[in-house]
Structure 1
Amino acid sequence: MSQFNNVSVATKANVYFDGGVTSRTVWFADGSKKTLGLMLPGVYEFTTDTVEIMEFTSGSLLALLPGETEWKPFEGGTQFEVPAHATFKMDVKTVTDYVCSFITGS
């Protein structure tokens, strides 16, 4: 999806890893939320509270997903899902644009 309609957006950015990863939170009428963000090249480790779906709109990276031993490639137009209360790593190779969906009740 290239656009979200009828949403509220946080004006304050979420900034992680000294600015290597930034995002804005978007809330939908049904109470769900997503973040729209940008990652600069680097290696980052994240921990989830809920199930998360990471969708990439541009860029390229490798991801080491929970329970996996091998890094897998992802690029614009691809996605992966991470379970709640899990840790995963991303080795971002080029500037990468992403949408992260938070699946509550999981």
Structure 2
Amino acid sequence: MSEFHNVTVVKKANVYFDGKVSSRTLQFADGSIKTLGFMLPGEYTFGTADEELMEIIEGELLFLLPDAGDWQAVKGGESFNVPANIQFKVKIQTPTDYCCSYIK
């Protein structure tokens, strides 16, 4: 899906890692929440409260989940799931545009 309809956008940006990662929150009528964001090259650690679906719109990155032995590669058009209540790492290879869906 290349666009969303009937959403509320929170104007204030979520800014992390000295501005190298930022996103905007979208709230849907059914109560679901997504963020649309952009990450510059670098290595970052994120924590989750809910399960997440990370859809990579454009760019390339590696991700590492806890207890996974190896980094896994994803690129534009691909996605990966992140369990709730963990910390995971990403290595952003090229500027990356993403959509994160929070699964409750």
> Aligned partners of 1:100, 1:65: CA distance in 2, in Å?
16
Give, in angstroms, the shift of residue 52 of structure 1. Answer: 0.6
Q: Does 1:8 find its partner at 2:8? A: yes
Counterpart amino acid of residue 35 in structure 1 = T
Q: TM-score, normalised by structure 1?
A: 0.96
TM-align CA RMSD: 0.6
Q: TM-score, normalised by structure 2?
A: 0.98
Structure whose residues are more often strand by fraction? 2
Q: Secondary structure at 2:94's aligned position in 1?
A: coil
> Aligned partners of 2:6, 2:66: CA distance in 1, in Å?
34
State, as a whole percentage, how many aligned pairs show the same letter: 57
Q: Is the 8 A contact 1:12 1:24 kept in 2?
A: yes
> Aligned partners of 1:66, 1:101: CA distance in 2, in Å?
20
Match of 1:59 in 2: 59
**For 1:18-60, what per-residue CA distance to the aligned partner results, in whole angstroms no more than 9, with x for missing partners?**
0010000000010100000000000000010000110000000
> Aligned partners of 1:28, 1:66: CA distance in 2, in Å?
30
Gapped runs of 5+ residues in structure 1?
Answer: none
| Matched positions, count | 104
Counterpart amino acid of residue 66 in structure 1 = P
Q: Secondary structure at 1:12's aligned position in 2?
A: coil
